[in-house]
Amino acid sequence: MVFWLIVEVIKILIVFVGLLLSAAYLTLLERKIAARIQNRMGPMEAGFHGWLQPIADGIKLFFKEDIIPAGANKFLFLLAPIIVVIPALTTFAVIPFGAPIKIMGHIVPLQITDVNVGILFVLAMTSLGIYGVVLGGWASNSKYSLLGGIRTAAQMISYEIPLVLSIVGVIMIAGDLSLAGIVSEQSHMWFVVYQPVGFMIYLIASTAEMNRVPFDLGEAEGEIVAGFHTEYSSMEFAFYFIGEYAQMVVNSAIIVTLFLGGWQGPFLPSVLWFLIKVFFVVLVYLWLRWTYPRLRYDELMDFGWKFLLPLALANIIVTGFIIILIHG
Amino acid at residue number 72: A
pLDDT of residue 8: 83
Query: What pLDDT does 321 receive?
Result: 92
The answer to whether residue 51 is domain-embedded is no
Q: Tally the domains of the chain.
A: 1
| pLDDT at residue 222 in the model | 63
Does residue 209 contact residue 156 with C-beta atoms inside 8 Å?
yes
- Ranked by mean pLDDT, the top range of 64-68, 243-247, 248-252, 324-328 is 248-252
Identify the pLDDT of residue 221: 67
Mean pLDDT on 256-278 = 92
Residue 328's pLDDT is 62
Q: Has residue 48 been placed in a domain?
A: no
Q: Is the per-residue pLDDT at 303 higher than 80?
A: yes
* pLDDT, position 100: 83
- Identify which of 270, 242, 244 has the alpha carbon closest to the alpha carbon of residue 257: 270
> How far from each other are the two terminal CA atoms of the chain, in whole angstroms?
47
Q: Which residues, in sequence order, are bridge partners of residue 98?
A: 110
pLDDT score, position 307: 93
- Reported as a single tens digit per residue, the pLDDT across 122-178 is 988 888 878 888 888 888 888 888 888 888 888 888 899 999 999 999 999 998 889
Give me the pLDDT at residue 88, please: 84
Q: Let me know how long the chain is.
A: 328
Helix or strand run (H / E) with residue 70 = none
pLDDT for res 170: 94
Count the neighbouring beta carbons within 10 Å of the beta carbon of residue 307. 13
Q: What is the pLDDT of residues 238-250, one digit of tens each?
A: 888 888 888 999 9
For residue 1, being part of any structural domain is answered with no
In this predicted structure, what is the pLDDT of residue 127? 83
Per-residue pLDDT band for 46 (boundaries 50, 70, 90) equals confident
Domain coverage including residue 186: 71-99+114-327
Tell me, yes or no, whether 8 lies in a domain: no
The Cα 324–Cα 303 span in angstroms is 31
Is residue 163 helix, strand or coil? helix
Mean pLDDT of the chain: 87
What per-residue confidence (pLDDT) applies to 254? Answer: 95
Helix (H, G, I), strand (E, B) or coil at 106: strand
With respect to residue 253, please indicate whether it lies within any of the assigned structural domains. yes
Q: For 76-110, how does the pLDDT look when each residue is reduced to its tens digit (9 = 90+)?
A: 888 888 888 888 888 888 999 888 888 877 788 88
Residue 41: inside a domain: no
pLDDT band at 235 (very low <50, low <70, confident <90, very high): confident
Q: Is residue 192 part of a domain?
A: yes
Residue 4 lies in a domain: no
**Mean pLDDT value of segment 249-261:** 94
| Nearest one of 73, 91, 89, 87 to 136, comparing CA atoms | 73
pLDDT at position 255 is 96
